[in-house]
Amino acid sequence: MTTQVETTVRSPEAYALAHRAVDAMQAASVWPTPLNFELWLHYLGDPEGTLGQEISRLLATGAPFTDSTAEMLAAEFLPRGRLSEEIRDAGAVLNRELAAVAGAIDKARESQATYGNTLAEAADRMANSGTPDDLTDLVACLADATRRIRRHTAALERRLESSNREVTKLRDHMEQVRRDAMTDALTNLANRKAFDEHLLRLCDQAENGGGSLGLAIIDIDHFKRFNDTWGHQTGDQVLRYVGSVLGRVSRAPRIAARYGGEEFAVIFPGETAGAIEAALNAIREEIASRALRRRSTNDDLGAVTISVGFGVRRAGESAGQLLARADEALYASKRSGRNKVTAAAEAVSDAA
């Protein structure tokens, strides 16, 4: 699946996969464009996935693999492609609504101008009319003009109400698209992009407002063993389990994210080091307390443990510096036997 491929291309296996992708494209007479290369990485990384099966089907037909084919596959199966397609569709709807409103406004403007001319003519006729019949005709003319302008005004109001409803729906839809683009599909936590944005924003707020900010990096112990022994689907089951625990205990203002591969991150705004460490140990103990079973066969997978490193932001410290200290604390946990929580200050003293 996509998340597994993204993990692979950030590991030593990436070079072998890249070579395989280039060789496979050459064998299939597919040009090694950046988009084709990305598609082939996903195809070879997960040949049984939906994208892999669709590429296999297309290649089996013997039809040439064109740029339009690649764009179609990217729009359907790659997250960025789907997002771009959603944005293009939203733009088309918005343009259509704006054009309709502009047309309705133009008609209303014309009606107002015509009505103004009618009133001006009526004023001239009233000044020059002297008989009751003339005044009767004039009143009838004004009444007719008033009815027309009321119809046009009502039509404009209906058009504006309709467009307002459509734009509100569009805004809600785009907000959902934005949330989807910032969410990890496997764990339903914030993804790496959302995490980076939150961390930068919260570091700025802490610097300007003087509040505390904690950051934890969490790694599933021996995760590769799950994948190698039971397969990627079982590995995904483990990732979902850990993500569900983190999501449950990381309610706002805390932010839990899938950091990458088997790593997660939790941001702790406004909490002390002691409170953060207690929360992380509670998470670690809860995750390890449950023995998982493989869904397809009910095989016992044993307990899942995590190693954690965390740090509390220092005055003047950037997001990258805080991240580096938390990451170093994580590796201190791994070096000292795993299944433990290490504070960044402890990591510095251990390394000294």
pLDDT tens-digit series, residues 131-169: 676 667 766 777 777 777 777 777 777 777 777 677 677
Within a domain: residue 337? Answer: yes
Domain that holds residue 197: 192-343
Within a domain: residue 187? Answer: no
Structure-token match 């604390």, residue found: 329
State the chain's mean pLDDT as an integer.
Answer: 80
Distances in Å between the alpha carbon of 118 and those of 89, 112, 130, 167? 44, 10, 19, 36
Reference 323, options 184, 173, 202, 160; nearest CA is: 202
- What is the average pLDDT across 13-36? 84
Chain-centroid distance of CA 196 in Å reads 13
> Residues 198, 130: one domain?
no
**3 state SS of 12:** coil
Distances in Å between the alpha carbon of 271 and those of 136, 262, 315, 329, 330? 81, 25, 15, 18, 19
> Residues 219, 294: one domain?
yes
> Residues 23, 144: one domain?
no
> Residues 220, 318: one domain?
yes
> Residues 108, 162: one domain?
yes
> Residues 177, 207: one domain?
no
**Is there a cis peptide before residue 269, judged by omega within 30 degrees of 0?**
no
Within a domain: residue 186? Answer: no
- Taking the CB of residue 316, how many other CB atoms lie within 10 A of it? 7
CATH classification at residue 307: 3.30.70.270
Within a domain: residue 311? Answer: yes
> Residues 73, 85: one domain?
no
Tell me the two tokens of residue 13. Answer: 């296996």
Number of domains in the chain: 3
DSSP structural state of residue 313? P
> Residues 86, 66: one domain?
no
> Residues 109, 95: one domain?
yes
Poorest-pLDDT segment among 123-127, 163-167, 312-316 = 123-127
Q: Per-residue pLDDT for 93 more than 70? A: no
Confidence class for position 349, pLDDT limits 50, 70, 90: very low
Within a domain: residue 248? Answer: yes
> Residues 35, 93: one domain?
no
Of 60, 77, 94, the domain-final residue:
77
Whether 206 contacts 213, CB under 8 Å? yes
Within a domain: residue 349? Answer: no
- Taking the CB of residue 138, how many other CB atoms lie within 10 A of it? 16
Q: Using CA atoms in the order 64, 69, 73, 79, what is the torsion angle rounded to 10 degrees?
A: 130
Chain-centroid distance of CA 244 in Å reads 18
Within a domain: residue 284? Answer: yes
Concerning whether 262 is annotated as a catalytic residue, the answer is yes
Structure-token match 């359907």, residue found: 76
Considering 38, 86, 97, 262, which one is annotated as catalytic? 262
Confidence class for position 352, pLDDT limits 50, 70, 90: very low
Confidence class for position 4, pLDDT limits 50, 70, 90: low
Confidence class for position 219, pLDDT limits 50, 70, 90: very high
> Residues 114, 171: one domain?
yes
CA distance 24 to 202: 45
Whether 311 contacts 344, CB under 8 Å? yes
Within a domain: residue 318? Answer: yes
Of 77, 111, 132, the domain-final residue:
77
Of 77, 95, 115, the domain-final residue:
77
- Triad 348, 349, 351: Cα angle to 5°: 65
> Residues 47, 171: one domain?
no
Q: Is 49 left (phi over 0), alpha (psi -120 to 50) or beta?
A: beta
